[in-house]
Structure formats: C-alpha cells, structure tokens
Structure 1
Amino acid sequence: MASAPRTHAGAERAPIRIRLAATVAALAIVGAGTGLRAVASGDVAKYGGDALYCLLMFALVILVAPRVTPPTAAAVALAVSWGVEFLQLTGLPAHLSQQSTAARLVLGSTFNAPDLFWYAVGAATGWLVVHRMRP
C-alpha cells in the first residue's frame, strides 16, 4: 500500500507566519516608541527610545529574512544601530535631520556614547524574546 507523498505545507507557511509576526511586532514597537515619547521625557524617553530603535531593527531583519537565527538578527540589528550612531560623528545625519523629519527619526543627529549600550539592550531583548518563542 503506497502512502501519499508528504508535503511541507507547514514549512512553506512558516516564513509567512514569521513575517506576519515581525510586521505586528514592528508596528507594536513603533507604537511603544510613540507612546514612550508621549508619557516620558529625559533619559527614560531617550534611552528607552534607543532600545526600541534597535528592537525595531531586529524586527525588520526578521521581516526581510524570516529564516535568520535570533543571534544573527540581533547582531545585524546591533551593527546597523551602531553604524548609524557612529555615522553621526560625520555630521551628515545632523545635516539631513535639518532637511527632513524622517531623516531625524531614522538617523538622529548627535553622537552619544551611552546610546551604544541601549542599542545592545534592544538587540538582546529581541534575541531573548524570539529565542523563547521558537520551538
């Protein structure tokens, strides 16, 4: 008695589910960042925003590459966040931030060394959450 060939429908749908979850997470992170700025100020808003920025990068990495491992997604998100922070040493983001609100939101304007730590907190948070959620 021959059995029907097995399909990998579940495996084929996995990237779609992962992308959907990453999209929902990204939207929630943007909402959290907006909410944080609305209710907090000073260091809480600034450094919480830094962690959320890197966490958003983490979600976007997973959205683009749903099969990426959590450590790789965290490393890429951290590298991008640190890269943007170090780019601020050139003055280019400050110039672009004067021209565009979007550039100010994405690139910032002024280098601040403590931001590097808070980006690491955001990357580690993403890694931990996804690691615990995956079977």
Structure 2
Amino acid sequence: MQSTDPPPPHRPLPADPLTGRRRRARAGWLLAAAGVLVLGLTGPGLLPHAAGALLGGALYTALLYTLLMAAAPRLRPPTAGAVALAAGWAVELFQLTGVPESLGARSRAARLILGTTFDASDLPAYALGALAAAALHHTARRLAARGRR
C-alpha cells in the first residue's frame, strides 16, 4: 500500500555556528604548515649535520601534524601527535622497500616527501617533532581557553 501524501517540505539544516571557527582553524593550520615547510627546507642546512638532521626529522613530523590538524581540526593534541608520528615512522619504514629511493631518483617532490633511504636515527627525531607539535598545540589551546574566561 503506497501513501499518496506529499513528502514533507524540505527544511534546510541549521547553520553550524562552528563552521566559521573551523574554517579559520583550518586556515591557521595551513599557514602553520607553510611556515614549518619553509623552516624545514632552510633551517637544517644552517646547522651542523647531526643537529640539522635531527631538526629536519622533527620538522617533518611537525609538518605532518599541521596538515593533519588542517584536515581534522577537532583532533586532540595527543591523538594528532600519535597519528603524525605513526605516519612518519611508516614513511621511514617504507624506505626499507627501496621504492622511495627509486621514486626519488625521478622526482624531487618524491625525494622530499618520502626520503630515499632508511635511517634509524630519524625515528627519534620524528618522535621529538610529534611531541613538540602536540605540546605547543596543547599549550596554545590552554592559553586560548584562559583568554576566553
């Protein structure tokens, strides 16, 4: 048995008051990512090799963190830090396959994004970057909350 009643009128969904805030948050995270990227491409070369390598690895994970937060601004700092760290470690372990080295031989972008060869010393650098990014984010959130009170 079919109903002959017309469908209910379309009612638009109520506006999300956080949409503007989320849009601004995403823009802020993308701006932060751009800053981290510039620092990551220039900063390590200004330091001695070991310190530059550590900074480069830490900034790689910080860049992953900022891009993740731009995509999902509601993530809490520990979650975003753990995901960024896991992604960085996954890329580093992927280098053991030789695929990133092959891709890097043909593309500068692939070399910058995936690296070329596995280096175990990058793993703690990634952890440092994830920890620093999450700590800075947590501190900024606390200061913002304190300012709203």
The TM-score normalised by the length of structure 2 is 0.81
* Counterpart-to-counterpart distance in 2, 1:35 and 1:109: 19
* Counterpart-to-counterpart distance in 2, 1:37 and 1:131: 25
- Flag structure 2 segments of 5+ consecutive residues without an equivalent: 1-14
- Count of residues paired in the alignment: 128
| Paired letter, 2:55 | G
Residue of structure 1 in register with 2:23 after alignment: 16
- Flag structure 1 segments of 5+ consecutive residues without an equivalent: 1-6
Larger RCO, structures 1/2 (Cα 8 Å, 6+ apart): 1
* Counterpart-to-counterpart distance in 2, 1:38 and 1:115: 16
* Counterpart-to-counterpart distance in 2, 1:40 and 1:92: 29
Deviation >3 Å, runs of 4+: none
Give RMSD over aligned pairs: 1.4
Larger Rg computed on CA atoms: 2
* Counterpart-to-counterpart distance in 2, 1:108 and 1:21: 27
- Indicate conservation of the 8 Å contact 2:44/2:55, yes or no: no
The CA deviation string for residues 52-111 of structure 1, in whole angstroms up to 9 with x for no partner, is 000000000000011111111111100110000000111111111101000000000111
* Counterpart-to-counterpart distance in 1, 2:109 and 2:41: 14
* Counterpart-to-counterpart distance in 1, 2:43 and 2:57: 11
* Counterpart-to-counterpart distance in 2, 1:66 and 1:93: 30
What is the aligned-residue identity percentage? 39
User: Is structure 2 residue 68 aligned with structure 1 residue 54?
Assistant: no
